């Protein structure tokens, strides 16, 4: 069984969001080709994603000092369990598709919080004498991003996503951009349709 995770980082659906429209086109084409694959479709705006805060930092410190889990506050226990669940869910996946808009040259904060949940020493990377080494192997990742301007992958958001997954050890990494709609609004529909076609073609080989 091939496990596939869709990580949507946009509060709006495909009727408004260009990144979600392209993602839906990819997913529909992928399902036709791989009807037997197990797909988890998660929108980060429909679930709780813990941010690294005082509760988590203090909880990790207490646990590292050998304190029992049940000595943590209810809030700490809930956040630690939630954080760990995202880590373990990611580790079970074979293919991951991440979709987001470019907001102020960055990714949405919900996506950053999820990425923090999967960037865990001892589980997705490790420290060695020569530096940090990614230990995520055998996973395929696709990053879909919608940009109002044209960056050709040079924007900080897509560079960050690529950098973090490369850091974790992912070597099979792909990018699909739908961009330039605000720069050339008269061609916005054409740009999106071309991206939809690219997504459908990419689904055949992903």
Q: Compute the distance between CA of residue 128 and CA of residue 9 in angstroms, rounded to an integer.
A: 33
Known binding residue 19? Answer is yes
Is 71 marked within a binding site?
Answer: no
85 labeled binding residue: no
| CA nearest neighbour of 20 among 32, 9, 34, 31 | 9
Torsion over CA of 27, 28, 34 and 39, rounded to 10 degrees?
50
With beta carbons less than 8 A apart as the criterion, state whether 148 and 19 touch: no
Which residues have CB under 8 Å from 134's CB, separation 6+? 124, 125, 166, 167, 168, 169, 170
Distance CA 101, CA 160 (A): 14
Pick out the residues of the known binding site for FMN.
Answer: 17-19
Pick out the residues of the known binding site.
Answer: 17-19
């Amino acid at each position: 069984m091939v496990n596939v995770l869709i990580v949507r980082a946009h509060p709006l659906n495909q009727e408004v969001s260009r990144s979600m429209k392209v993602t839906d086109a990819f997913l529909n084409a992928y399902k036709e080709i791989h009807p037997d694959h197990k797909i988890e479709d998660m929108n980060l705006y429909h679930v709780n994603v813990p941010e690294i805060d005082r509760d988590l930092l203090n909880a990790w410190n207490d646990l590292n000092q050998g304190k029992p889990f049940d000595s943590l506050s209810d809030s700490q226990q809930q956040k630690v369990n939630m954080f760990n669940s995202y880590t373990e869910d990611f580790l079970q996946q074979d293919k991951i598709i991440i979709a987001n808009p470019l907001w102020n040259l960055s990714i949405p904060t919900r996506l950053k919080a999820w990425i923090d949940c999967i960037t865990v020493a001892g589980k997705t990377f490790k420290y060695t004498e020569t530096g940090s080494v990614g230990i995520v192997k055998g996973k395929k990742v696709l990053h879909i991003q919608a940009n109002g301007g044209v960056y050709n992958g040079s924007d900080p958001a897509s560079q960050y996503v690529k950098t973090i997954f490369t850091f974790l050890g992912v070597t099979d990494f792909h990018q699909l951009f739908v961009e330039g709609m605000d720069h050339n609004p008269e061609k916005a529909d054409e740009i999106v349709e071309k991206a939809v076609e690219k997504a459908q073609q990419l689904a055949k080989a992903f």
